[in-house]
Amino acid sequence: MALLTVETGSPTLRMTTTVNIISPVDAGTGSGGTLYLLHGAGDNASTWHRLTTAELYASQYGCTVIMPQVGRSYYTDMEYGLDYFRYITQELPEFCARLLNLETDPQKTFIAGLSMGGYGALKCALTYPERYSKVVSLSGVTDLQKRLNDPHMGPEMSREMMGVFGNGLQVKPDQDIRALADKLVKDNRALPAILTCCGSEDPFAEMNRDFASYMETTPYDFRYVETPGMHEWRFWERHLKTTFDFLYN
């Protein structure tokens, strides 16, 4: 496997940004498709590779792993900022396909993330289900409105969230995970398979349980895994295996 750090100018973001890529290099080892692996708030394009064994799993399954950088944008076209959702779903796949000569078979294209990135992964897959066959959220924000209404959110975080979602901190339908899931069912569109995992001591555990209870009433191929753990890398590393088992079995 090769680890590539790509610094590239983004027309969408109007600045240089970083993408880290784990890529097969030997002939015949790249048949495992593509995984977009999204970071959480406070992390960047390097964190998955630095703090987990993602490269070992990529080697085992022969997949290309693409790890972009989006700051603290919540993978959203920000109200007062940059269009990160458009970047992740439009520009980035086209750029990586050209750069790496990637196959674009949706059945071999997956997306996953943790925390803020778990929200981003679900949002991408439920907005464009024809592009991703499976999606994984680890300790993800599955109820964005509840997150924005968190009474423990300090003034600095509130200002930051207003920059992303607007002064009223009201979630729009195209930002609401449950609304997006409902719309796909109503529109009779393809439904991605979904795995969510959360630690039982995680502050997002309650919203993940609520989301799981709801999704289990829908036609989705949906799985929820909860084990002891907190909102930390030891939990995410442990469930990286859960993630790859789900994606490739």
Domains of the chain: 2-248 (3.40.50.1820)
Bridge-based pairing of strands 34-38 and 64-68 is parallel
Band (pLDDT 50/70/90 cuts) for residue 30 is: low
Please tell me whether the overall predicted TM-score, pTM, comes out greater than 0.85 for this model. Answer: yes
Place of tokens 């520009």: 91
Q: Which residues lie closer than 8 Å to 148 by C-beta, 6 or more apart? A: 161, 165, 169, 170, 171
Band (pLDDT 50/70/90 cuts) for residue 232 is: very high
Average pLDDT of the segment spanning 65-75: 98
Phi, psi values for residue 71, rounded to 5°: 60, -135
Tens of pLDDT, residues 207-217: 999 999 999 99
Tens of pLDDT, residues 110-130: 999 999 999 999 999 999 999
* Helix or strand run (H / E) with residue 36: strand 34-38
Across all residues in the chain, what is the average pLDDT? Answer: 96
The C-alpha angle with vertex 232 and arms to 230 and 237, in degrees rounded to 5, equals 110
